[in-house]
């Protein structure tokens, strides 16, 4: 029930990632209306005898001040409710201090009802009548990535999931515009589509690759600095604060939860990559463990489920034949037509033999990609749309290369990332940028 580790490509399992370096391929351009290709202490001068008493005094003072600031940090209160705007909030109290999260109950009502109900005791109360979120610990802490809790039966995060720790599962609720775009984002942990229950996490940095894999439902608005101080095993308490009449009226009981859950749009797309799925990697170019292709397929299917925007991606070992690619854009147009993207949406492809990335935009999606109304001259070779694609490819390649370098630096010499990780990171960056451009904000 976990998002990936900071280096892991898996959206569901805390598995370490591995990659190896690969040089960024040269760019290749093709003429064509909507297709774009991109190849991939003595220094103080003090006498010890003369100044020892002063140094000792300074040390005592420093230790005293340090203790004071530590104590201050550990007792920082949450935001004063009187200072909060109207809204629904969750106050988290930890040994390191307190922080406040604004819950997006109007945009993610099902997820917020589940969270609020488990915190207030109106959903899945404990056998002794206490709220479900009683006695929680931060059992998973990945520095620079996430802190996770929600299952009162877990203390280390390595325990198997149980019915007692995961009552009342519910479907995903992806609200366009709610993204893992900052530290302090509150989101649901899961084991795949529609497997949400009790476990949640907060980000310690932007992690946009989790968008449309984990449902965002809150953002930290006070005490953000406390998050990075949390240690594995720390206790936490969650209290709900309702400010204003709308928040006071928000229901998080069993009836409201059941109604929202029943009306939520369920996952119905192919669960495995393949010719009919949103994502396919027929030659298994991506690292197989954990299942990267499966995760990409879930992401693109969830984008369509939540927004109606169709994005398809295909990774091929070989480039099209000369006959298939005789005219500019010929292969991509045919593939887009086959996948139902010719009019609206996008197709992203990769050809491993030439390290060649291409993207096709449906006629109705060029405006969203360009960021303004598209005029006929914009579609000419070397014009505005092609330039925008060049920027898109270059930015994604730079992001993937930087991420790979960070992973290589942080991994032990005997646990370096596998070669295919670079392709995974490129796919991450390109798809996330495409999703950001084409979906509602």
Task: Write down which residue in 234, 263, 292 finishes a domain.
Answer: 263
66, pLDDT greater than 90:
no
Instruction: State whether 376 and 425 are in the same domain.
Output: yes
Is residue 52 scored above 60 in pLDDT?
no
DSSP one-letter string for 130-164:
--TTSSEE--EEETTTEEEE--TT-SSS-SPP-TT
pLDDT(21) > 50 = no
CA distance 441 to 426: 23
DSSP states of 342-385 as a string? SSSSEEEEEETTTTEEEEEE-GGGHHHHHTS---GGGGSTTSHH
Dihedral over Cα of 116, 117, 122, 128: its sign? negative
175: left (phi > 0), else alpha (psi -120 to 50), else beta?
beta
Q: What is the overall mean pLDDT for the chain?
A: 87
Q: What is the pLDDT, as a whole number, of residue 38?
A: 53
Cis peptide before 200 (omega within 30 of 0): no
Is residue 37 pLDDT above 80, yes or no?
no
Is residue 167 assigned to a domain? Answer: yes
Confirm if 328 and 30 have CB atoms less than 8 A apart. yes
Structure tokens at 125: 């109360």
pLDDT on residue 81: 77
Positions of E strands within 43-156: 87-94, 97-103, 136-137, 140-142, 146-149
- Identify the bridge partners of residue 202 per DSSP, sorted by sequence position: 147, 186
Specify the CATH number for the domain of residue 176: 2.40.100.10
Predicted pLDDT of residue 7: 55
Asked if residue 302 and residue 406 are part of one domain, the reply reads yes
Of 244, 263, 282, the residue at which a domain comes to its end is: 263
Share of the chain above pLDDT 90, in %: 78
pLDDT at 427: 98
Q: What is the domain extent for residue 378?
A: 35-40+268-438
What's the CATH code of the domain at 288? 3.10.310.50
| pLDDT above 90 (res 106) | yes
What confidence tens digit (pLDDT) does each residue in 158-199 have? Answer: 899 999 999 999 999 999 999 999 999 999 999 999 999 999
Any domain includes 216: yes
Q: Is the pLDDT of residue 1 over 90?
A: no
User: Over pLDDT 70: what percentage of the chain?
Assistant: 83
Neighbours of 27 (CB within 10 A): 16
For 263-289, what is the mean pLDDT? Answer: 97
Say what the pLDDT of residue 265 is.
97
Q: Strand, coil or helix: what is 169?
A: coil
User: Is 19 part of any domain?
Assistant: no
Helix (H, G, I), strand (E, B), or coil: what is residue 245? helix
- The rounded radius of gyration (Å) of the Cα atoms in the chain is 25
Encode pLDDT of 348-363 as tens digits: 999 999 999 999 999 9
* Cα-to-chain-centroid distance, residue 259: 28
Mean pLDDT (whole number) for 52-80: 48
Single residue among 215, 241, 263 that ends a domain in this structure: 263
Tell whether 256 and 182 lie within a shared domain.
yes
pLDDT for residue 47 is more than 80: no
Q: Is 267 left (phi over 0), alpha (psi -120 to 50) or beta?
A: beta
* Among 23-27, 71-75, 104-108, the range of highest mean pLDDT: 104-108
**Which pLDDT band, with edges at 50, 70 and 90, does 78 fall under?**
low
Let me know whether 59 and 208 are in one domain.
no
- 4 inside domain: no
Shared-domain flag, residues 293 and 354: yes
Say if 222 falls within a structural domain.
Answer: yes
Whether pLDDT at 20 is above 90 = no
Per-residue confidence (pLDDT) for residue 149, from 0 to 100: 99
- CA dihedral for 359, 361, 362, 363, sign (positive or negative): negative
* Residue length of the chain: 441
All residues at 6 or more sequence positions from 374 whose CB lies less than 8 Å from its CB, including other chains: 366, 367, 385
What is the per-residue pLDDT across 234-257, written as a single tens digit (0 to 9) for each? 999 999 999 999 999 999 999 999
Q: Which residues contact 421 (CB under 8 A, 6 or more apart)?
A: 9, 17, 18, 19, 20, 287, 404, 407
Confidence of residue 5 (pLDDT cuts 50, 70, 90): low
Task: Compute the average pLDDT of residues 13-37.
Answer: 36
| 208 and 230 part of one domain | yes
């Amino acid at each position: 029930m976990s998002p990936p580790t900071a280096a892991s490509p898996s959206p569901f399992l805390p598995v370490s990632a591995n990659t190896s370096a690969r040089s960024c391929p040269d760019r290749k351009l093709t003429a064509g209306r909507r297709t774009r290709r991109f190849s991939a202490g003595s220094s103080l001068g003090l006498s010890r005898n003369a100044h020892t008493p002063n140094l000792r005094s300074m040390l005592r003072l420093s230790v005293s001040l340090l203790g004071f600031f530590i104590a201050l940090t550990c007792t920082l209160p949450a935001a004063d409710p009187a200072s909060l705007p109207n809204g629904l909030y969750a106050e988290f109290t930890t040994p390191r201090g307190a922080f406040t999260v604004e819950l997006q109950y109007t945009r993610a009502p099902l997820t917020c009802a589940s969270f609020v109900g488990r915190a207030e005791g109106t959903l899945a109360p404990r056998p002794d009548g206490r709220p479900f979120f009683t006695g929680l610990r931060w059992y998973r802490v990945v520095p620079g990535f996430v802190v996770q809790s929600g299952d009162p039966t877990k203390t280390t995060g390595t325990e198997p999931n149980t019915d007692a720790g995961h009552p009342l599962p519910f479907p995903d609720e992806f609200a366009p515009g709610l993204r893992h775009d900052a530290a302090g984002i509150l989101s649901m942990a899961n084991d795949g589509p529609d497997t949400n229950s009790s476990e949640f996490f907060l980000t310690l940095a932007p992690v946009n690759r989790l968008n449309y894999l984990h449902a965002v439902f809150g953002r930290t608005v006070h005490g953000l600095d406390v998050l990075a101080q949390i240690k594995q095993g720390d206790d936490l308490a969650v209290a709900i604060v309702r400010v204003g009449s709308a928040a006071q009226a928000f229901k998080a009981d069993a009836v409201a939860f059941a109604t929202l859950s029943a009306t939520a749009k369920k996952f119905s797309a192919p669960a495995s990559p393949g010719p009919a799925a949103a994502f396919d990697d027929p030659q298994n170019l991506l690292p197989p463990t954990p299942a990267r292709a499966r995760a990409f397929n879930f992401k693109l299917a969830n984008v369509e489920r939540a927004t109606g925007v169709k994005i398809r991606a295909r990774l091929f070992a070989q480039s099209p034949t000369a006959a298939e690619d005789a005219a500019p854009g010929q292969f991509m147009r045919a593939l887009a037509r086959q996948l139902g993207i010719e009019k609206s949406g996008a197709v992203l492809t990769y050809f491993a033999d030439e390290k060649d990335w291409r993207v096709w935009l449906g006629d109705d999606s060029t405006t969203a990609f360009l960021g303004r109304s598209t005029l006929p001259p914009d579609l000419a070779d070397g014009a505005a749309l092609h330039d925008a694609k060049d920027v898109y490819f270059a930015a994604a390649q730079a992001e993937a290369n930087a991420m790979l370098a960070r992973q290589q630096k942080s991994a032990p010499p005997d646990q370096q990332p596998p070669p295919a990780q670079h392709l995974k990171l490129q796919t991450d960056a390109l798809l996330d940028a495409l999703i950001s451009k084409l979906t509602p904000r």
